[in-house]
Each structure stands twice: as structure tokens, then as C-alpha cells.
Amino acid sequence: MKKELEISSLEELGQVAEMLLAFCDDKRIITFTGEIGAGKTTLITVLCKLLGVEDTISSPTFSIVNEYESGKDTLYHIDLYRLPVIEEAIGIGIEDYIYSGNYCFIEWPGLVDDLLDEKEIVQVLIETLENGHRRIVFFTVDD
């Protein structure tokens, strides 16, 4: 399954987040790929707010994992940009987060591709276009 859209402003991210959550159905692991500055963290912030997080949401670039409470749920925002090898991700307990059953938003997921069941995740690709717009693609791998 695949959905592709183009947005021209950050004000449209609320609608994008709603569409993404509907697209996810029961999948709780969402990976985000795109160059630095494409808007991965910004979209994740909107998703967290939509899911009821009231805390300040920030990039986990240095902490690697940020944990947020959303009513009765816990959400994990993981940024693997700074980790050079999968062993470091395993060392921080990445598998516990991935297999927790909670929402798990992963930026720069390439490092842990081998740990992810591609049929159980939604992948998001964000691309900056020449006109300043963003192309956002959600997709899953179907059987």
C-alpha cells in the first residue's frame, strides 16, 4: 500500500499526521527517512501532539530516545543518526522499544533494518522539492 502527497507549508502537517495515523491502521512502528532538515522531527512532533502528548517534544538526536506519555500510552521517538553500528542500538535497548507494542517513531532507521519486520511497519519518506514543497510518501510492504 502506498500514499503520496505534496505539501507547501508546515500548516498542512496536521492533516498529514491524521492521514498517516489512519494509514497505519494497527501498525505501531513508523520509520522516517529524509535528508537533514526535511521535516522528520517536525512531523513526529505533530503526530505526538495529535496522539495526546502534552509534554514539550524535542529531537532525540543526542539522547537517542525520547519517551512521551499520552494518556494510557507511551510513545517512543528514536533518532539513530549518531549511532555508527547496530550493536550500539542494541546496547540502548532498541529491541525493547520496537517490540513494546507502543508507538515507535524511528528517524534514520537504516541501522536497524534487520531488526524490523517490514510487514509490521509503515515507512515514511520525506523529500524536499526544488520549489520548497515537501513530498511525503507513506508505504507498507504487502504480502
pLDDT per 10-residue tile (average), the chain, 143 residues: 93 94 95 94 95 90 90 92 93 95 96 92 96 95 71
Separation of alpha carbons 14 and 85, rounded Å: 34
Range of the domain at 123: 2-139
| Each residue's pLDDT tens digit, 50-89 | 999 998 888 887 889 999 999 888 999 999 999 999 999 9
Is the pTM value of this prediction over 0.75? yes
CATH of the domain at 70: 3.40.50.300
Domain count of the fold of the chain: 1
